[in-house]
Structure formats: C-alpha cells, structure tokens
Structure 1
C-alpha cells in the first residue's frame, strides 16, 4: 500500500510540473506524461484549469482505461474538486447496473462511509470489473462527501437481449432515444463497427459486429439517461470507459442534445504511447481527425501483465472502452 501511495504522489507531482508546454513547444522525455490538453484550444493547460472547468460544468464525463489505477485516482481528485465548489453532484458509475440501485442504496444506508461494504453488497469481486481497490478512491470520495452514488449501466443480460432481439428488447426510453438517431449516418455506423473490432482485439466474428454496435449504442443511451436523471440541481459526474466519454458519438453528445442549455465536460484519460509524440497523434487511434474529448489528461501506461504491447497500439484497445 505504501508503494502505491508513493507512486501516486510522484505521478501527481509530475502532473503539476508538466501541465504546461515546454519552451518553444518542444517535448522532453517523457513527452506527454502528466500533461493536460485542451482539445478545442489546441494547447496545454494546468491541472488547476481543468478543475475549474469541471467545477463550472453541469455534467462531467470522466473516461478511463478501466485497469489503469492512475485514472481512478485522478477521477477521485476531480470528484473532490467539483464538490469543493459548494456543490453536491451525483456520481454515476458505468460499473454498476441500474438493477443494482436498491442494493447500492441499502449499502449506503447501513454503511454510509464504507466503500468495501458497498463492494461486497454488489458482489464486485465477481462482476468482471478490475479489482475494487482500483475504484475505491472514487467511492471513498463520494461517500466522504455524502454524494449520491448512481448505478448507471445497462446490465449484461439486457445488453445480450438487445443483441439477440434488437432495440425492441430495450426499455421504452432507450428505444425512443435510439429511434431519434435513425437512420444512423453510414460514416458513424462504419466508425462504430471499427471501434467494436478494435476494442475486442479483432476477435469478434463479423456476424456479431452489428449486434455489438447496437448494444454499445444502447449502453451509451442508458448511461446518458441515468446521468441526466442523476442531476438533482447540482449536476452529475459519470465514471466510465473512454469509449463512452467520446464527444462525437457517445454520452456527452447525447446529453448535449437532450440538455442543450447545459454545460457538458468530457475528460479522456489516455495512456502515453512512446510512439506518439504529440496530442494530435492520438486522434487517429480513435478513428478521428481530432481527439473526441474536451480535455485529455495523459498518464503513464498501466498495462496488466496479460496485456501485450502488440495488442495496445491504440490507447485503449481491448480494455477500457
């Protein structure tokens, strides 16, 4: 545990020191680690500037690579930053299915300050998500600050039914939101298909691609609806994979369309790749001309031993979508 805290402290020091560009725009080793990139302004900003933007936003979508501990520590830090502005935002989690909300509420009632009790109640250990200690800092922040915790995701069982039976298997609200986008532009459909191939390491049979795309779209809608519902006047934060945090076709876009007067901030936490020396180099990994986030935070790589470098040529393949 001590080594984890030391590593975390060192990374946060790097984040503070490297959040602005070097003289003349030249990068030194490591070129991007710890830097914060404003996509629209096309410049580096400080971590403090990111916190200020998060405090000013109605909805904050924090897109992670699921098995990178640094991403969760930084998400927790932003949760605390938003709450420091005399706000009481809800914190919604992709990692919790909507059907688990009563379990979450009961765990909060019986153990209001114990993240581990909540993890046990939802059987996190058998959920398929990375080990709970990675996510614990976010839950601890929400509990300490007495923020509502919202189960936001489509369950695997419901997603499977959508894959097998189509959109008619989804809840009426999800069906209606999907229908509003039909017919989906061909370019977006092709991009979604490619995302499914890449995020599953090219292992999906082609016959499953379109059903998987529909399930992914249904998840995006579910997450967006829950995020909107979670707003009780002080906004809401979503903890999710980077694929769901895309501004071009995922949760931020849907929320912006549903709430045009609201401010939505999408933050992507991306692992530095030594073969990509500039922020714009990462856009191609997402099949985009520009990075599909409002702000990007570059972090050290957090690969698990079972994840090969060859399978990780893009920032997020096979994990964290």
Structure 2
C-alpha cells in the first residue's frame, strides 16, 4: 500500500548500503548554529530536536516538555523513533503497558541504532500523562524505495500533488522542479557532509529525497492531530529552513516553533531557539570510511 508520500545509482556495495541507510535513519549530522533559550511559547506545533546519543540533551529537552505540560497539554507526541508501520502495535502497547520498559519490549525493532534507555523517561511521561504517541517515521525499507525509485514508490498520486513532489524526468519543464528544488539542493549538501564528503552527488539526491519524504510524513502526522502536538526528532528534521517546519509552512499550517539541541551552532534561520549542549566524545565516524572507489563528483 502506498503512503500518502528516488539511490542507486552506481557506486555502492551491498556492504555499504546498510551503513548508509543506518546513517540516514539516524538523521543527518548536527547542523552548525548557536543560540540558547528556553521554549516559552505554546505553539500549535512544537518541534523539539536532539542529538540522538546525547543524554544531557535528552534531559534538557524533557525539562522543556514538562514545562509545556504544566501550561498546555498537547494532544499528541509524534516520535521519529517509531515507524509508521508500527502504529497498530504502538496503540496496543499504550493500551496495555503502564511502563516504558513494557512498551519498548513490544515495539523495539532489532538492528536499529536508537539508544532506547535515553527515551524511556519521555515515553514514561507520555504514558503517565495519557498523551497519545504517534509513530512518525518512514520505515527503512520505505526510505530505501524512495532512494531507488523516487517519491512515487511510497506516496500516492494525491499526496504527490498535495506536496508538489516531482522526480527528475517527470516532465521536460524546468519549472516542474519547483517549488522545492532549493530545499533538495540543501538537503543534498547536508547528506554529503553527513557522509564525510565522500558521497557522490548522484547518490546524494536519492538520499536527500528520502530525508524529505521523512519530513513530509512527520509534518503530515502533525497536521492530522486535532490540537497541539509535539514532534520528537533529530535536529535535521526540526529545522525551519529545510525540515518539518518548512513543510508545515508549505501546507499553510499555523507557525511551528523549532527548538534545536545541538553541540555546535546552527544558522539562526534554521531554528527559533537552541539549547547548547556540550560536545560528546565519540569515535571519528569518518575514520576508515570509504563509500565510493571512483573520483568524487563535484556538487
């Protein structure tokens, strides 16, 4: 069944594809920017970012969520960490589970790189406060199909028209690349940067489209809620210039408020607020990484 939502290309081995899909699932590298402020408003759509493995960032965000709950109860929590094809199981888990551990035991997918203990306090809070949790992400297989085949692989015709999505070759008119060509180009650069500058541009386009498809799905989940809702996703997804907030604006929705939790500064146009979190020591993800054996294409 297609969702209301094109890689390949040449130089990728079977061994490398899971790595790339894993990096894409875990979102892009933290964008560069740096403001620090608390989210004091009560917007219709509150987009809260994260560095996925940063415990202090999770704690800081949870404090903001608790503050929001004290003033204005949201109707739903949209979570990147669960795929849309898990919604039935997520609904059942919320019905029968009183603890985050119970819910995660029922929903956890093997092989995905989420550090679930970091999400347990948030999930427990949602269970305690009876806030519905909505699965907001494309599955890895759906993202793979977008990378290889284009938006039409998972989005139906009505959704393609609604979001004005077109794959290359759909028309001979250059105007058909609009209105999202700038966002696509920016997403391509983010994807290339996230892959240590080694990704050929021919592959980056498909991966950027998969990232955009994920953002559209999350935006659509927010729009489906009857009232206030909060999105929990990686910093790349909550960005105002190219992420979910962009697609909400395109849909004519009420303004969203984007709050990034980042280890380094991002451009001021990418978020309404940012909480600076300390840089965390990690192995160099670029050490020894070789994605293609041919000369890099010039972006």
Regarding TM over 0.5, the answer is: yes
Aligned residue pairs total 245
The answer (yes or no) to whether the contact 1:115–1:140 under 8 Å persists in 2 is yes
Whole-angstrom CA distance in 1 between matches of 2:205 and 2:72: 44
Aligned partner of 2:247 in structure 1 is 254
Flag structure 1 segments of 5+ consecutive residues without an equivalent: 1-35, 38-43, 273-278, 284-289, 312-321
Whole-angstrom CA distance in 2 between matches of 1:218 and 1:192: 11
1:266 to 258, 265, 274: 258
Change in 2 beyond 3 A, CA 1:77/1:177: farther
Whole-angstrom CA distance in 2 between matches of 1:151 and 1:121: 14
2:278 to 300, 303, 306: 300
2:80 to 77, 90, 94: 94
SS at match of 1:61: strand
Show CA shifts across 1:277-317 (max 9, x none). Answer: xx5xx43xxxxxx34001011011234346579x9xxxxxx
Question: Once superposed, what is the RMSD of the aligned Cα atoms?
Answer: 2.5
The answer (yes or no) to whether the contact 2:94–2:103 under 8 Å persists in 1 is yes
Aligned partner of 2:193 in structure 1 is 198
SS at match of 2:74: coil
Whole-angstrom CA distance in 2 between matches of 1:67 and 1:151: 20
Flag structure 2 segments of 5+ consecutive residues without an equivalent: 1-33, 167-175, 290-299
Runs of 4 or more above 4 Å deviation? 305-309
Q: Does 1:110 align with 2:103?
A: no
CA drift at 1:169: 0.6
Whole-angstrom CA distance in 2 between matches of 1:303 and 1:64: 16
Higher relative contact order (CA 8 A, sep 6+): 2
Q: TM-score, normalised by structure 2?
A: 0.74
Show CA shifts across 1:37-79 (max 9, x none). Answer: 3xxxxxx64x3xx2x21xx211001111111112222222222
Change in 2 beyond 3 A, CA 1:254/1:206: closer
Aligned partner of 2:144 in structure 1 is 160
Which has the larger helix fraction?
A: 1
Paired residues for 1:63-102 under 5 Å = 63-102=49-88
Q: TM-score, normalised by structure 1?
A: 0.69
Whole-angstrom CA distance in 1 between matches of 2:202 and 2:123: 38
The answer (yes or no) to whether the contact 1:252–1:266 under 8 Å persists in 2 is yes
The answer (yes or no) to whether the contact 1:59–1:237 under 8 Å persists in 2 is yes
Q: Does 1:232 align with 2:232?
A: no
The answer (yes or no) to whether the contact 1:255–1:264 under 8 Å persists in 2 is yes
Whole-angstrom CA distance in 2 between matches of 1:239 and 1:117: 20
SS at match of 1:216: helix
